[in-house]
Amino acid sequence: MEWFCVRLMRNQGTLIHVPQYLCRSFQTSLCQERRSLTRNAFTYTELQASNTCRNLLPSTTTDSVCRLKFGQSLSRGRPLFSDIEIRNITVWTHSNGPPVPIWISQRGQNCFHTSAFHRALPAPIVWLILKPLQKIAAIILGRSIRKWWLALPPNKQLLLRQEAWQRRWKLLAVGMAAMVLVTIYVLTHLDESPVTGRTRLLVFSEKTYMELAAVTAEAYMEEFGTSLISEEDPRHQVVERVVQHMAQRNKDIPEVSSVQWSVHVVDSPIINAFVLPNGKVFIFTGMLEAVADVHQLTFILGHEMAHAVMGHSAEQASVSHVVDALALVLLTTIWALCPRDSLAMLGHWIQTKLQQLLFDRPYSRKLESEADQVGLQLAAKACADVRAGPVFWQQMEINDQLRREPTVPEWFSTHPSHKNRVTQLDRLVPQYLKLRESCSCPALPNTDPRQVFSQSVKVLLEQERVKADDRKRASQPGGLATALPTSETGTVPSQSPEASLKTAT
């Protein structure tokens, strides 16, 4: 019994199931009673471990004591545990450490619970860890099948082909049954998307992704810990007011009102922002410098909040989970049928690229377009000028051209092109202007920011054309004097193109 007590103190992180007869035989005579204290009609008796226990315990726990809580009517020599009374044992493992409670059930199986259960990793994290291992297993399986087949003598191969042909209908039935099972799995995991009501596949639950979001938020807080600006900073306060105002105006959406939104502004020139499913908003100061006014900021934050409200991360992971599982079958087939490893690797590469180009990236662009639409709706209900949404993406397009950044075809990208986003938002603006008006918002000015931006771009292009002509004349012999502007004309602007665009908008 002393050995049992020592093992109990050492294994505090485990769940130990104790038989009923062992609980009944655990007597008070094993320990020495020192004193009694009265509290809430119960008697507390502190018992010290025996010398044998002390010799077996580590040096840090030689002063371990057991405090047993039991009914006042319990007499000395009577078993401490019974089928009637519930016992509560508290074990000190360090002289100055906090007590660790242990519960013993009233009836049936009794167990010692010395610490909280350790939570398992969220399912998406487990899936991300197992994903490369699954591919490796598929490659090994396919390659093993090929090696086994090539090692067979020709007559044996012929017999197996004939047998497979004779059983072709059975094999076809097995394949059809597998397809039916996959179809049933997909149909039983369909869900209705909030706000839009679109039918989608959702394998991972919202609770699972909330747990993953908590882990991700901790990682981001650790990564950006030294770069976060203070809450007293005016930039943080502006973003905070916009987020809270948008959440208040859209509280009729359950996915918005059930989330506690919090803002974190990262001091970095990166033009980016994102929102985790648990309402953690991360925005970089580069994005704050890229927007022209609070209306554009509201649209950007509405877009990112729409991703969280719609559960796009869980949806995309769910679809990728099913597609990757089906791709494993194709991957195994490639490595089994290709005669050489080099051809199998080429087939594997082609399969990966086709999956990205034909499914992964188009689906990602679809979710981005949906976030633009829902973000415009959230901004409209928050009384923002929704006409500023298309203007922002026009600014981003001009900015990329001024920086001479290489343009990527849309079908290679996970996001729609700036031009297509502007076209889609222009088509949605009239609808959400009516929604904004129905929300009792103040009237908008007659000046359309889209027209203002178009005029500003024309002015900027004209200035660039004049500068190009001046440089051309200056490069000609004797043309330097005519290229330099005089103090009266002032043909060359004093601002850079980026600054001129910012001023015009």
Active site residue 33: no
Alpha helices, DSSP H, located in 254-311: 254-257, 285-290, 294-310
Q: Which residue has the tokens 């009792």?
A: 440
DSSP assignment, residue 364? H
Catalytic one of 163, 240, 304, 464: 304
Q: Are 338 and 345 in contact (CB under 8 A)?
A: no
Extract long-range pairs of 260-263: CB within 8 Å, 24+ residues apart: 261/305, 263/236, 263/239
Contact 247, 256 (CB under 8 A): yes
- Cα 397 to Cα 143: distance, rounded to the nearest angstrom: 48
The H or E element that residue 66 is part of is: strand 65-70
> Which residues, other chains included, contact 493 with Cβ-Cβ below 8 Å and sequence gap of 6+?
463, 467, 500
**Other CB atoms within 10 A of residue 130 CB:** 11
How far, in Å, CA of 196 to CA of 307, rounded? 12
At which residue do the structure tokens 């948008």 appear? Answer: 246
Structure tokens at 260: 């506690």
From the CB of residue 150, how many other CB atoms can be counted at a distance below 10 Å? 9
| Residues 65, 58 contacting (CB under 8 angstroms) | no
Q: Which two tokens stand for residue 25?
A: 């035989």
The token pair that represents 46 in the structure block = 């502190």
Tokens of 103: 């519960």
For strands 110-113 and 190-192, give the pairing. unpaired
Partner residues linked to 145 by β-bridges? none
C-alpha–C-alpha distance, residues 69 and 66, integer Å: 10
With beta carbons less than 8 A apart as the criterion, state whether 243 and 263 touch: yes
Q: List Cβ neighbours of 314 (8 Å cut-off, separation of 6 or more).
A: 124, 202, 204, 205, 206, 208, 209, 277
Structural contact between residues 214 and 276, judged by C-beta atoms closer than 8 angstroms: no
The one-character DSSP state at 61 is G
Provide the annotated active-site residues.
Answer: 304
